[in-house]
Amino acid sequence: MPDLMESLATPLAAAAAETLEQLAYLFAEPAAADGVATEDVDGIVALAFHGPAHGALILQLSGGILPALASNMLGLDGAPSLPDQRDALGEVANVICGNVLPRIAGATAVFALGVPTPYPSWPVATEALGGVAAEVHLDVEGGRADIALVVHPAA
């Protein structure tokens, strides 16, 4: 199980860092502290996927970086509306998921991605979606991104 966790965590961290940098101009590095942030949470969203395997990607941003992420994506100086912030969070999860799946399943695997769905807390999301196969934590310009991959074998 640790091998599986490691084999998924490395491409997950790479896809997340690249997406945050290229889509939202936010630079990420491995988090100094372990574990999922429990305070000052900006938002949590999950995106289901179906294909050779099925599962979900969970993304939580905390520490006040969601307004900055959304304003960077929109090219605004101030904080965007809350609906735009939620939209931006879902789109970042969508892009991370779309970029990590080929890295772990191969370039020819075909997946269908679901619609980003908000969750009230990390425990609620992980309990609803099943066991987490890999989890990465990134420090992002004063805030934090926690990302998990839930993977179930194809039925």
SS3 of residue 137 by DSSP:
strand
Nearer to another protein, 37 or 46 (CB): 46
What's the rounded Cα separation, in Å, for the pair 14 and 57? 14
Nearer to another protein, 75 or 120 (CB): 75
Furthest-apart CA atoms within the chain: distance in Å: 47
Nearer to another protein, 36 or 138 (CB): 138
Question: What Å distances lie between residue 63 and 93, 105, 130, CA to CA?
Answer: 17, 32, 26
Shortest distance, position 134 Cβ to another protein, whole Å: 17
Q: Provide the β-strand partners of residue 117.
A: 46
What's the rounded Cα separation, in Å, for the pair 78 and 127? 35
The residues of the shown chain that bind another protein, judged by CB under 8 A, are: 18-19, 22-23, 70, 73-75, 80, 84, 87-88, 90-91, 94-95, 97-99, 101-102, 107-113, 115
Shortest distance, position 114 Cβ to another protein, whole Å: 8
Shortest distance, position 39 Cβ to another protein, whole Å: 26
Nearer to another protein, 41 or 66 (CB): 66
Angle at 28 between CA 5 and CA 58, to 5 degrees: 45
Shortest distance, position 95 Cβ to another protein, whole Å: 5
